Chains A and B, each alone.
Chain A
């Protein structure tokens, strides 16, 4: 192995993205989500936090707020100012990424904020700021969607009132076929990628971007598939949030039993 100057984890372009049985590189079917793990309330100092694993994505989200807006001039008289920072760790990608915010991270910070703002009842907290910090610890395609999914959980964990959770998932085209939840290789070598964020109970899309090539029919079909997948993710988010309260409930009940036994 050549140790000098060669990236030891270089992923080469795969020969095929979909095998003759219709299975993708990681064995998934075209309409299958990657494995998702959601955890809520894992950071101590943040008001709310969440950790998302989706395939090989590892994303940490923290929410601070509502808190006093600093600098003062950004405060709004009638609602909270929502700020969002999407940032990737230098070791999160195949090639080391400079820690300085890139143009991509700045654009994603904006679109992610705009994906979450429709859900936040910011009118309840005038003159404050609600700050959402997203750190991508490992990136494998679809990070902005996983980040939005995690940010919704972190906002809920912080007790910030919301109209709805926001659930997000990307859909794309790989070797001519519409595929759900593209991995990094599929995004790089596929024909289209469309991240979507959705508030299922309001049938409302809060983020949609697209790059690649879709006919109008493909686009409509892909959007429907994405919305349905967001519905599935929504259920997982609710379970993750309930889990936090269930474990608190169990703790409280255990304590109660111990105290009774001690009497």
Chain B
């Protein structure tokens, strides 16, 4: 990015103005669509400003982990597909996509968003595995929040067939039920630019930020995950302030997801 552009963004933010005329603590326009991929158990597409992320949820059966024989499995993967940005190249997941998947996963896992014990088919032998696949389609900043919103919406949208267990086998019955969801974690990503904290950085803001802090807030207001990123640091006060901002913004986003998945 040209230096003059960098300086302009930083300068404007020090005066409380952003290049897209938002306030420092506002999200970009958020649009959430669900149920767009019929072959998936659940799906959602999120437009956060110009960032576009699609998430598909597939539910399959498999072996439980040996140390949690009565729990279903959640697994999150993220693909930064090359069509989403001139900077994404084809290949196996790199550190950015791995970090993205693991941060989204942490928010869902630590808040126990899915009641994994209800996904047990036969203890120690068979459980349901919930695959959450994050597909970034257009990268214009703040993939973490867009992916987390889409993941939660897709999980709330997901349906699995009714079933009963006979002789250790799953027999599917007519009708569908939702995934057993018991929490709704929201990640809020805040970028440090100059000495200001801005919520939901767009791509240009990410390119000038010195660091970012993502906090996942669950229904009760507790923090269940955090991740600092970026090449610089944040002061103690900035970290505490960012978490406070995150806890206030989380409810707004949670309501939007709730509306979209009614």
Contact = CB atoms under 8 A, between A and B. Distances in A.
Contact of B233 (A106, A204, A210, A213): A204
Contact of B236 (A118, A213, A227): A227
Contacts of B224: 210-213
A137 interface: no
Contacts of B218: 213
A220 interface: yes
Contacts of B233: 118, 199, 202, 204-206
Nearest to B107: A211
Contacts of A214: 222-223
B243 interface: yes
B110 interface: yes
Contact of A103 (B96, B98, B213, B232): B98
Given A208-B226, A213-B223, A216-B223, A203 B236 contact: yes
A64 interface: no
B29 interface: no
B242 to A, nearest CB: 10
A71 to B, nearest CB: 14
Contacts of A2: none
Contacts of A219: 223, 243
B99 A223 contact: no
Contact of B226 (A204, A210, A215): A210
Contacts of B98: 103, 106-107, 110
A215 B244 CA distance: 11
Contact of A203 (B99, B231, B235): B235
A208 B109 CA distance: 18
Contacts of B213: 208
Given A210-B226, A211-B110, A216 B235 contact: no
B101 A220 contact: no
Contacts of B93: 103
A215 B222 contact: yes
A215 B96 CA distance: 29
Interface in B79-104: 93-96, 98-99, 101-102
B227 interface: yes
B225 interface: yes
Contacts of B230: 114
A113 to B, nearest CB: 9
A114 B234 CA distance: 12
Interface string A88-131: 00000000000000011011011100100110000000000000
Contacts of B232: 117-118, 206
Contacts of B102: 103-104, 107
B249 interface: no
B240 interface: yes
Contacts of A224: 236
A109 B98 CA distance: 11
B235 A208 contact: no
A194 interface: yes
B235 A220 contact: no
Interface in A169-220: 194, 199, 202-216, 219-220
Given A203-B235, A204-B234, A206-B233, A211 B228 contact: no
B168 interface: no
Contacts of B221: 215-216
A204 B234 CA distance: 5
B223 A209 contact: no
A261 B210 CA distance: 59
B223 A210 contact: yes
A111 B226 CA distance: 12
Contact of B95 (A109, A117, A220, A227): A109
21 contacts: A103-B101, A106-B98, A107-B102, A109-B95, A111-B228, A194-B226, A202-B233, A205-B234, A206-B232, A208-B213, A208-B239, A209-B227, A209-B228, A210-B223, A213-B111, A214-B223, A215-B222, A215-B223, A216-B222, A223-B236, A224-B236
Given A204-B233, A215-B221, 20 more contacts: A103-B102, A107-B102, A110-B96, A110-B98, A117-B231, A118-B232, A202-B235, A205-B234, A205-B236, A205-B239, A206-B232, A208-B227, A209-B228, A211-B225, A212-B110, A212-B224, A216-B222, A220-B243, A224-B236, A227-B236
Interface of B: 93-96, 98-99, 101-102, 106, 109-111, 213, 218, 221-236, 239-240, 243-244, 247
- 8 residue pairs, one from A and one from B, having the closest CB atoms: A210-B226, A204-B233, A206-B233, A110-B95, A118-B233, A208-B228, A117-B231, A106-B98
